[in-house]
Amino acid sequence: MIDLLGQRVLKKGLISTDELAQAVERQRLFGGRLGFHLIALNLISESDLSDFFTFTPHIPTNLEETNLETGFITDLILKHCVFLKKFNVADLSDKTKLPSSLILEIVTELRSDRFIEVAKGDISLAASEYALTDAGIHRAIQCLEECRYTGPAPVSLEEYRYAIGIQTIKSIEITEEQLKSAFSKIVLSDDKLRTYGPAINSTKPIFLYGPPGNGKTTIAELIGDSLPDEVYIPYAVLAGNQVIIVYDQVNHRAINKEDDDNHLGRRWIKIKRPVVIAGGELTLKTLDLNFNQDSKYYEAPLQMKANNGLFIVDDFGRQIVDPQTLLNRWIIPLDRQTDFLTLHTGMKFEIPFDQLVIFATNLPPKKIADDAFLRRLRYKIRVDSPAKEEYRNIFKKICDSNLIQFDEEAFDYLIHKYESSKRNLSCCDPRNLIDQIIDLASFDQKPPVVTKALLDKVWENYFVL
């Protein structure tokens, strides 16, 4: 991503090659971001830098500007036609996300080749209704046998790399106010906030470790909520003439803006910076392209879906694959911010690895990673058991959220139970204990209250004695 910023600044003519080399050397000596050093050397302004991280999808005005072969677009349109049966230019434009003028050009060619015919004429060819001929149906079925993808027209691999580079996660800056807002759902000390903030802004890998039940996963997810800005991702990418689905409704939160379709390239969708979570199910296979033998197209691996956002590796060390093997798979992407994927045809290609990676584990770091890998994790943050006052604040917040009166005497009794049983406090306990009290109250058809007797009951049900 640094190379891309440098190239774009050079291309725009704002600095010379020697000046860029000076900024890169300054970055090498003192760390930080290239953009900061360009500004520190008075080579560019802050507004110049901001412009370099703004991406606007391009609307192709002709077939060449789609960066797709005309034959590929034609085949995609034919496949859509099979399912639409009767269609007009606007229908095909809506399905492929390509401008109507380009669709009309293809439709005109398909009519000339007698693959489609006018079913219902109109003064305007664009408004006419069309249908496939027998030859068109035969050709469309052949296309579906080769690849059953019938979504929006993909973008080229080069366009994808370019967009990820401009919208890089390395451009983000989190303020204390933004972080406080994101973490307002939980109880967290200002000292901890000041630990997480710089770690996020560094965009370096973060290692969260400590005893279970103290919110490592929650903290990681809230870091995802704190990420600023929205980004554009393509519905699909074309690499080696193979379709790779990128947009995923599970991992991507679309931003619905009605004017986007009218003014921006519709093959791209605006989303909140992605947050992708993988737990014990993570394997080396999930980090590779997933080729569907029936549909004949690919689904992007998790790290590709996480580009420009956050990738959380939860319960690290408890995956089926050996931790060291998994770590070895990550070393090059973490160091060079690039990854390599391989198609079933044998073609290997490079994609950006542009994401903040968080490893969360209950296991001691030394047991799952060697020193060489731990050195690559700039921030290693212990998420420990809460102190009594912090536990009290959590318990009270849970009570308040459920409209339950906080009882100081009952709370002191609960703390005594922890101390007498020599059990450590855990951040998740208040929520789980209060949930059981609410369940009991619901069964008894009474409003929930916190009493010593109820605490004894839920304690017995919750903890293994």
Instruction: Judge whether 178 and 228 are in contact, CB under 8 Å.
Output: yes
Alpha carbons 357 and 355: distance in angstroms, whole number: 6
Alpha carbons 231 and 208: distance in angstroms, whole number: 26
Query: How is residue 58 written in tokens?
Result: 């391009």
Alpha carbons 116 and 134: distance in angstroms, whole number: 9
Instruction: Judge whether 310 and 302 are in contact, CB under 8 Å.
Output: no
pLDDT at 81: 97
392-405 residue pLDDT tens = 999 999 999 999 99
Q: Please report, for the chain, the start and end positions of each structural domain, with discontinuous segments joined by +.
A: 2-52, 69-153, 156-382, 388-462
**pTM for the whole structure:** 0.86
Domain 388-462 has CATH 1.10.8: yes
Find, among 92, 102, 94, the residue nearest to 68 by Cα. Answer: 102
2-32 residue pLDDT tens = 456 777 777 777 788 888 888 788 877 766 6
pLDDT at 8: 73
Strand order of the β-sheet with 290-292 is 155-156, 236-239, 242-245, 297-299, 290-292
Burial category of 112 from C-beta neighbours within 10 Å (exposed 0-12, middle 13-18, buried 19 and up): exposed
DSSP string, 12-25: TTSS-HHHHHHHHH
Per-residue pLDDT of the chain (465 residues; tens, 9 = 90+): 445 677 777 777 778 888 888 878 887 776 666 777 787 888 888 777 766 678 889 899 999 999 999 999 999 999 999 999 999 999 999 999 999 999 999 999 999 999 999 998 877 888 899 999 999 999 999 999 999 999 999 999 999 999 998 899 988 888 999 999 999 989 988 888 899 999 999 999 999 999 999 999 999 999 999 999 899 999 999 999 999 999 999 999 998 765 444 456 799 999 999 999 999 889 999 999 999 999 999 999 999 999 999 999 999 988 888 888 888 888 888 888 899 999 999 999 999 999 999 999 998 888 888 887 888 788 999 999 999 999 999 999 999 999 999 999 999 999 999 999 999 999 999 999 999 999 999 999 999 999 999 999 999 999 986
pLDDT at 264: 60
For the domain with range 156-382, which CATH number is right: 2.60.40.10, 3.40.50.300, 3.40.50.720, 2.40.30.10? 3.40.50.300
Q: Do domains 156-382 and 388-462 have the same CATH topology?
A: no
pLDDT at 257: 61
pLDDT at 31: 66
Identity of residue 241: N
Detail the DSSP E strand segments found in 363-451: 379-382
Alpha carbons 200 and 191: distance in angstroms, whole number: 15
pLDDT at 252: 96
Burial category of 304 from C-beta neighbours within 10 Å (exposed 0-12, middle 13-18, buried 19 and up): buried
pLDDT at 28: 74
8-state DSSP, 257:
-
Architecture of domain 69-153: Orthogonal Bundle (1.10)
Instruction: Judge whether 268 and 310 are in contact, CB under 8 Å.
Output: no
